[in-house]
Structure 1
Amino acid sequence: MTLPQILGRLRQVKPLGSGGFAEVWLYHDPVLDSPVAVKVLSAQWTQADDIRERFLQEARFLRSVDSPHVVSVHDIGETPTGAPYFVMAYADAGSVAELIAQHPQGMPAPLVADLVTQAASGLDALHARSVIHRDVKPANILLTGGSDGRLRAMVADLGVARALDQHSEVTRQIGTPAYMAPEQFDESLPIDHRADVRSLGAVAWAMFAGRSPAPALTVVSRVPDLGTVAAVPATVSAVIMRALEPRAEDRWPDAGSFASALTAAAEGRAVAVPPPSEASTVLRSPGPAQSTPMPPPPPQPQQRPASRRRGAVLVAAAVGIALVLGGAATWFVTRGGPAEDPANGEETAGAKPVSGAETAAVRFVDALQAGDCEAAGLYIPDLDDPAAWDCTDDANGGDGFYYHILDDLDADGERRVEDLGDGLFRVVWVDQGYVNMQRQEDTLFKVQQVVCC
């Protein structure tokens, strides 16, 4: 999306980044002589009423939270083309994700404890308003520099946040798998503020390890003990591992308690870390994936020059299930947006999504083409450094299982949606390939098969 050079009194400077739903641009406020960040809903979502409303709710809620450690919103508006945006504080020092990238051997304990404490303060402010963030990760903890040289952390991006009493089964699995709590994968378990405690623990683990932890692909998955991957005191490791306990009742009771314990451990003080309780919560091991008969494939797409052709790829996924194929485990569940009737084989006008299945498929393709394997939910779980694996790399460890929705696919090309029955939809990029999407419930879909290029 190209934003206007002049937005109200703001003057455009440069783009800062983009995600699955929004773009962020740097603008300058000449009246206050200060930089601001403008977050605008991406063009493909402006006509999706539920996504648009979620975007506006995020802005209104951020405006209402009084905490220096939650990103502040100054204004809200709409571009001349009808895209909603809001103006927020500019994080001139980047994010914790960038800090982790700058410290592949891990960050100093005092800095980790300080940033975790600040982020915990922001999360506690959200929890006091009965809101769970549900996507706490390094990229969503923004940083700004102070006059004293100390970094100030601000929790941002509440696009998937939910009120404690309003989250639904449709949205509970949305997030970033490497940082999500196990209960987000298991509909039998309640979700409360301790899901964010677990995610903050994963962020702290990543800050010390220099990389993100492997995702909790099942509800009984455990993150490797921090002491086995980073040179940290045993007490520091114990504090973080308690935050990462699979059962919510075994974690620190709130973000502030976790931060206080981590600060004490980082300073070399004694910390009492209670052992896991004998709680009655049953963490269910996922059963085997149910086999869904696949319909016959459509006619082969037109051939391209041999140097540009890619092989067919199967991408299977399920809620809370790690399905191993040729050594690669994959997980991807996405919310598809409005669930209008599919196009029944008719080509999609203007390449704009017309159904929830198409919206979900487009989001998956966008993530792969951006090289964002984490957003696409693709992993190989047994690597020494899962976060370093590039799911779009032909080399891929030589296991012969590759993902190829790359340069060969014109993501803006003509599309059509085919209803195959039993909740299965085929989203076809005309003459290129297709993605099969299986409806889970309402607007939640899982990627079931990809054949491309």
Structure 2
Amino acid sequence: MGLTAPSLIGPYRVERLLGAGSFATVWLGHDPVLDSRVAIKVLAENWSHDLRVRERFLDEARLLRRLEHERLVRVHAVGELPDGRPYAVLAWADGGSMRDRLARGPLPVPGALALLDQIAAGVAVLHRHDVVHRDLTPGNILFRSGPQAGSGPPGEHGSGPERVLIADLGLAKALAAASGLTARAGTPGYMAPEQDDPLAVVDTRADVFGLGRLGLRLLGAAAIPPNPPARPPDRGPGAPVRLRNGVPPAVAAVLTRATASRPAERYPDAAAFRAALARAVGEGSDRAAAAERRPDRRRTATAGPDRAAGGGRRPARRRLATAGAGLLALAALGLPAGDAGTRRHTAGTAASGPVTVALPAGWRATGAGWSGQYGEDGLLEPALVISPEPARWAADPSVPGAFVGLSASTARRTTVEGWLAERPHADCVPQPVRRTRQGGIDWVVAGFTCPAGRPVVVEAAGLAEGSAGLLYVQVTPPPGRGADFVDALLAGVRVG
């Protein structure tokens, strides 16, 4: 296909080119069913007959689908072109990349520190699942604006808080597969030295090196050039780095250790790097506060509003201490469409297609289809959101609610237990899985207690009678309500 824009990729109308690399081309597409924009990543023609590259391409989509986290780019669907090349339909990062922003000039120091923290939080999600990214670069750090309540269909973005997303996992590998036979892969200037050695073991410390190099790009007194050398000069943990004015001095030691030439001298993983960064920024804030308390000392403003990563006007220490306290990613593949479609109402109930749900007192419904889930007829499979305030549920963690969907395609692909296993909440503590029969359906129920965002999230799935498909329900119960509320809601789900 080259760089000549096709008119269609699958059912999606192509609008323009977003980017092209050695292995794939990314197009901005339009989903005519949801009336929303998506990013469509297509395997490059020159690699279409290489089975290893093809499998690596599909591995990225499978990996993102399995991890399903708000800090990672979301996969909506996969498909295949008439010539056999696979493509993946991804959430469109409408805010561009870190590379785009740095091309306009350096970010303010508070915003750069907050951004580095958010990048580390995203990489930590991968590390918790024993996955190494291996290609952390400014071009693979994306921004997506958050939804504005009632702003329109999913995929169109509002003015809510901005999310930092980790993208392009095509080079990622499970640790079990990252052996000494792993092929060299990475971007010069950000790639750890051991990635240039075909006999070296590549683990989470390679990503720590990448985080350190991103930190130098954001905070260094001499920025990493657009075309950096393939391999930075060897340097142990004692050689200092020079940072911009206004960066807490302790941050230099963190980046120095992260970019040490020998893996053993770096932090063990992204979580340890992030914790060290928070401590370093906190020490800087404490020193600044102590200086302001000294008598007869002129006070000057040291930090402005943090807008680079969606932060507010919090001091750096508080900002980093609370990083990651945003909303949990909805385990549903996407929010339902707007109020059009097959949604029906009767007294106390709502329906989408064959799915009917009894509404708890004071709750309403919206939605007519499951974003990214298509049936054999090419139409969206049925789904809806129910809540006292359905338009706010996705964006406001204080609002209770539930997503209810029915998918025949999912039932053909996996089991109830397998589906729930694909929906981890990495920042939360899982509760014991239980089984319950409600409304004539055998449900498997998995609960999560979370430190921030929504305090309790419940995932439930069961098979509808006959061959209707897999029923999936994600519930955020009202405060103080537990299994009794969840079971009553499940008892009110019907198919037919």
**Mapping for residues 56-205 of structure 1, pairs under 5 Å:** 56-103=58-105, 106-146=106-146, 147=158, 150-169=161-180, 171-187=182-198, 189-205=200-216
What letter is aligned with 2:74? S
1:211 partnered with 2:213: no
Equivalent position SS for 2:189: helix
Partners in 2 of 1:133 and 1:199 — Cα distance? Answer: 9
Q: How many residues align?
A: 269
Whether contact under 8 Å (1:92, 1:145) holds in the other structure is yes
Farther off after superposition, 171-180 or 195-204: 171-180
Shift of 1:168: 4.5
**Mapping for residues 360-439 of structure 1, pairs under 5 Å:** none
Deviation readout 1:349-406 (Å, 9 max, x if unpaired)? xxxxxxxxxxxxxxxxxxxxxxxxxxxxxxxxxxxxxxxxxxxxxxxxxxxxxxxxxx
Of 11, 14, 21, which residue of structure 1 is paired with 2:13? Answer: 11
Shift of 1:259: 2.1
Partners in 1 of 2:265 and 2:111 — Cα distance? Answer: 26
Change (3 A) 1:120 1:163: same
Deviation readout 1:407-453 (Å, 9 max, x if unpaired)? xxxxxxxxxxxxxxxxxxxxxxxxxxxxxxxxxxxxxxxxxxxxxxx
5+ residue gaps, structure 2, are 147-157, 288-496
Equivalent position SS for 1:179: coil
Whether contact under 8 Å (1:182, 1:219) holds in the other structure is no
1:249 partnered with 2:264: yes
Of 276, 286, 295, which residue of structure 2 is paired with 1:261? Answer: 276
Whether contact under 8 Å (2:136, 2:211) holds in the other structure is yes
Change (3 A) 1:220 1:60: same
Q: What percentage of aligned pairs have identical amino acids?
A: 43
Structure 2 equivalent of residue 236 of structure 1: 251
Shift of 1:187: 4.7
Equivalent position SS for 1:13: strand
Change (3 A) 1:108 1:229: closer
Of 32, 45, 48, which residue of structure 1 is paired with 2:47? Answer: 45
Equivalent position SS for 1:54: helix
Equivalent position SS for 1:198: helix
Whether contact under 8 Å (1:9, 1:29) holds in the other structure is yes
Equivalent position SS for 1:107: coil
What letter is aligned with 1:164? L
What letter is aligned with 2:224? S
TM-score (norm 1): 0.54
Shift of 1:11: 1.6
Shift of 1:25: 0.1
**Mapping for residues 276-425 of structure 1, pairs under 5 Å:** none
Structure 2 equivalent of residue 276 of structure 1: none
Shift of 1:5: 1.8
Whether contact under 8 Å (1:95, 1:142) holds in the other structure is yes
Shift of 1:215: 4.1
Partners in 1 of 2:252 and 2:160 — Cα distance? Answer: 28
Partners in 1 of 2:245 and 2:258 — Cα distance? Answer: 17
Report the aligned-residue RMSD.
2.6
Shift of 1:212: 2.3
Partners in 1 of 2:257 and 2:286 — Cα distance? Answer: 15
Change (3 A) 1:172 1:225: farther
Answer with 1 or 2: which has the greater Rg.
Answer: 2
Whether contact under 8 Å (1:115, 1:152) holds in the other structure is no
Partners in 2 of 1:254 and 1:182 — Cα distance? Answer: 16
TM-score (norm 2): 0.50
